[in-house]
Amino acid sequence: MAAVQETIDQVKAIDVDQYKYGFVTDIESELAPKGLNEDIIRFISEKKGEPEWMFQWRLDAFKRWQTMIEPSWARVSYPKIDFQELHYYAAPKKKEGLKSLDEVDPEILETYKKLGIPLAEQEILAGVAPENRVAVDAVFDSVSVATTFKEELAKAGVIFCPISEAIRDYPDLVKKYLGSVVPISDNYYATLNSAVFSDGSFVYVPEGVRCPMELSTYFRINEQNTGQFERTLIIADKGAYVSYLEGCTAPQRDENQLHAAVVELVALDDAEIKYSTVQNWYPGDSEGKGGIYNFVTKRGDCRGKNSKIAWTQVETGSAITWKYPSCILRGDNSVGEFYSIAISNGHQQIDSGTKMIHLGKNTSSRIISKGISAGVSENTYRGQVSAHRKATNARNFTQCDSLLIGDKCGAHTVPYIESKNATAVFEHEATTSKISDDQMFYCQARGLDEEEAVALIVNGFVRDVIQQLPMEFAVEAQKLIGISLEGSVG
């Protein structure tokens, strides 16, 4: 009940369709010229001080991208993106010889402070018990501006750094794993990302290590007319465990901005990766103007035996979301999980879901997806579950529930179930309904007003997923749900 009350308070505290994180940081930026060509790719590569092989890798991706056409199968509509009108690189101007966090531009620190992201290590230490500490990699436009707790993580053998740094410092690891889950020719946006990605996080957890704290990346788009293309690569070696959180926000701008990220996860024998996202990009205003196009490719590869990858996502932001965090269950006995809450309001369009590809023996997967649509939004769950010939005893359970608030929105479910193995057992169930009059009456008869009643019912509806989130996120997610549905009743 306490959490519900918090949601209500949060809802009341803000005005209608006010996006809390919509401010702009006034900071001098270094921008690549608009447009996309080989020179821009060389520019990015040089900015990052990359070795030649990396440049060639990008170039290869760019050449492939030029032969591809934009996919149109998703249930979203938007004006054509002019890829030559974007800046593919934007970085806050750096002061020379930056050595510690204290030297990070105070404007940026202030930005993250406003967002509630602690970048100063002592600040975290002061308030929270040590086991709840979170190491943060903060990505501002195209560059990573700070990574906390690096030293302490290094003691445990965990590598946590911007990917640009990893390319320089750990080329063997990067060469071995980059593009091994999402190949450069995977899809239109992933290929574009492969050509122009600027930063992102790199995590390597060595054999047998349980990462001593939660890792987190916080993405912030600030600059106008830029595309953010980050790349995340997480490797959990044999028997390792890591929990990784991702958050994102962007300023309120009238024009649409592109975010095309690629996330690759690799879990070797007995390893486990838990990846949680709270996506709160600017969704556009109440007229549907502006907002982020979130075209993201996320895929985890359970490469080793008994490995496990779990995706948890709370999607509340973005004008358009096109995102399918997937698991390739290659190793025998591997487990894939996907928990999702996707909330659309206003003019938002979401086409999101997952893929569970069963390749190994005795693999199992679970999908719990809760979609809530309000306003004039469209919310689509699109998911694929497939068992290949050799996936003996594959097991999947899928549940997708949609809740409609108002009669102008749409909720859609598009599952693809493909089984090539007789021993595979797949179950899929989906329901769509609205908050029933009975439920509302029950709550209101007990003294809750309409908005409180809706918040209570919605929180109950999404509880299965919220429970999967790490503590730090669960509270934030619950608040977000309240905010996203603000004004959708009555």
Partner 1 sequence: MNAEARVKETQAEASLIEQFSKLAKDQGGLAAETREKAFADFRSAGLPHRRVEEWHYTDLRAKMREAYAPAEGGRTPEVLPAPVDDGPVLRLFIVDGQYRADLGSSAMPEGVTVSSPREVEVKDSLFPSKDAVIDLNTAFCQGGVVVTVAPGTELTEAIEIVHLVTQPETASYSRNRIEIGAQASVLVIERFEGAASDAAYQTNAASEISVGDKARVNIIKLQDEAKAAQHLDSVSIKVGAEADVHHFTLNAGGDLSRTQMFVEFLGEEAKLGCRGISILGSKQHSDVTLFVDHAVPNCESRELYKSVIDEKARCVFQGKIVVRPDAQKTDGQMMVQSLLLSEEAEVNAKPELEIFADDVQCAHGSTTGDIDEDLLFYLRARGIPEADARKMLILAFLAEAVEETENDRVIALLESKVRALLGAEEYAE
Residue choice 217, 334, 377, 402 for contact with partner 1 (CB under 8 A): 402
Interface with partner 1: number of residues (CB under 8 A): 43
Q: Is 409 in the site for partner 1 (CB under 8 A)?
A: yes
Calculate Rg over the CA atoms of the chain: 22
Among 35, 406, 470, 487, binds partner 1 (CB under 8 A): 406
* Selected binder of partner 1 within 417, 464, 470, 472 (CB under 8 A): 417
Look up residue 31 and give its two tokens. 């921008």
Question: Of 5-13, 52-60, 315-323, 424-432, which part binds partner 1 (CB under 8 A)?
Answer: 424-432
C-alpha 194/C-alpha 188 separation (Å) is 10
Q: Which stretch binds partner 1 (CB under 8 A): 248-256, 271-279, 402-410, 463-471?
A: 402-410
Q: Is 432 in the site for partner 1 (CB under 8 A)?
A: yes
Q: What does the alpha-carbon distance between residue 477 and residue 3 come to, in Å, rounded to a whole number?
A: 11
Three-state DSSP class for 324?
coil
Contact by Cβ (8 Å): 256, 78:
yes
- Residue with token string 């959180």: 245
Q: Find out whether 193 and 261 touch, Cβ atoms under 8 Å.
A: yes
Instruction: Identify which of residues 143 and 387 has a Cβ nearer to partner 1 in the complex.
Output: 387
Q: Is 450 among the residues that bind partner 1 (CB under 8 A)?
A: no
**Of residues 171, 129, 166, the one with CA closest to residue 147:** 166
| Residue 429 found at the interface with partner 1 (CB under 8 A) | yes
One of 408, 441, 449, 475 touching partner 1 (CB under 8 A): 408
Question: Scanning residues 27 to 86, which ones bind partner 1 (CB under 8 A)?
Answer: 67-71, 73
- Partners of residue 224 on adjacent β-strands: none
Question: Nearest-CA neighbor of 290 among 372, 348, 375, 227?
Answer: 348
Q: What own/partner pairs with CB < 8 Å and gap ≥ 24 does 455-458 have?
A: 455/4, 455/7, 455/8, 455/11, 455/481, 455/482, 455/485, 456/4, 458/372, 458/403, 458/485
Report the alpha-carbon distance of residue 202 to residue 232 in Å, rounded: 6
Q: Counting contacts by CB under 8 A, is residue 414 touching partner 1?
A: yes
Q: How many CB atoms lie within 10 A of CB 417?
A: 14
User: Does the footprint of partner 1 cover residue 424 (CB under 8 A)?
Assistant: yes
Our finding on whether 411 is near partner 1 (CB under 8 A) is: yes
Q: What is the smallest separation between the CB atom of 433 and partner 1, expressed in angstroms?
A: 6
Instruction: Show the site string, 175-204: x = touches partner 1 by CB under 8 A, - = not.
Output: ----------xxxx----------------
- Please identify which residue in 426, 454, 465, 482 interacts with partner 1, judged by CB under 8 A: 426
From CA 30, how far away is CA 410, in angstroms rounded?
41
Please identify, using beta-carbon distances, which residue of 416 and 442 lies nearer to partner 1.
416
Angle at 186 between CA 347 and CA 183, to 5 degrees: 130
- Residue from 59, 173, 430, 489 binding partner 1 (CB under 8 A): 430
Question: In terms of CB distance, is 186 or 270 closer to partner 1?
Answer: 186
* Binding flag, residue 413, partner 1 (CB under 8 A): yes
The span from the CA of 33 to the CA of 450, in Å, is 51
Q: How far is the CB of 437 from partner 1 (least distance, A)?
A: 9
Find the binder of partner 1 among 99, 407, 445, 447 (CB under 8 A). Answer: 407
Q: Which is nearer to partner 1, 48 or 395 (CB)?
A: 395
For the bound state, the minimum distance from the C-beta of residue 145 to partner 1, rounded and expressed in Å, comes to 34
CA dist., res. 18 & res. 250, Å (int):
13
Using CB under 8 A, list all residues that contact partner 1.
67-71, 73, 185-188, 389, 402, 404-434
